[in-house]
Amino acid sequence: MKRLHALKFAGAVIVLAAALLFAAAVPAAAQPRINFKETSWDFGKVKQGDLLSHEFVFKNEGNDTLIIQKVTTTCGCTAALLSAEKIPPGKEGKIEVKFDTRGYGGRVSKLLYMDSNDPKQARRQLQVTAHIETPPAPKIELDPYNYDAGLIVEGEGILAELKVMNKGELELKVEFNHRNATYSSGGKAVSLPLKIAAGKEVTVEVRIPTQERTGVVREYVLIKSNDPMRTTLSMYISGYIISKEKLKELFIRYKELLR
Whether the upstream peptide bond of residue 228 has omega within 30° of 0, thus cis, is no
pTM higher than the cut 0.85? no
Beta strand 51-60 with 34-36 is: antiparallel
How many angstroms separate the Cα of 216 from the Cα of each of 42, 122, 132, 197, 211? 50, 50, 44, 37, 14
pLDDT exceeds cutoff 80 at 98:
yes
Summarize pLDDT for 127-166 with one digit per residue, the tens. 999 999 988 999 999 999 999 998 888 878 899 999 999 9
Digit-coded pLDDT (tens) for 172-228:
999 999 999 999 999 999 999 999 999 999 999 999 988 777 888 899 999 999 998
- The angle formed by the CA atoms of residues 166, 171 and 174, to the nearest 5 degrees, is 70
Query: Which residues, at least 6 apart from 144, have a Cβ–Cβ distance to it below 8 Å?
Result: 162, 235
User: Has residue 74 got a pLDDT over 60?
Assistant: yes
Mean pLDDT score of the chain, rounded to an integer?
87
Whether the pLDDT of residue 168 is over 60: the answer is: yes
Least confident of 15-19, 54-58, 75-79, 213-217: 15-19
Best CA proximity match to 160, nearest among 203, 197, 124, 199:
203
**Count of alpha carbons within 13 angstroms of residue 10, beta-carbon side:** 6
Complete domains list, the chain, with CATH: 34-133 (2.60.40.10), 140-250 (2.60.40.10)
Q: What pLDDT is stored for residue 153 in this prediction?
A: 84
pLDDT confidence of residue 154: 81
Of the candidates 151, 138, 131, 119, which has an alpha carbon nearest to the alpha carbon of residue 229? 138
Residues contacting 222, CB < 8 A, separation 6+: 176, 177, 178, 232, 233, 234
Instruction: Report the C-alpha gap between 72 and 248 in whole angstroms.
Output: 61
pLDDT of residue 248: 74
Residue among 158, 148, 155 nearest 246 (CA): 155
Question: What integer pLDDT is reported at residue 28 of this predicted model?
Answer: 62
Are the beta carbons of 76 and 100 closer than 8 angstroms?
Answer: yes
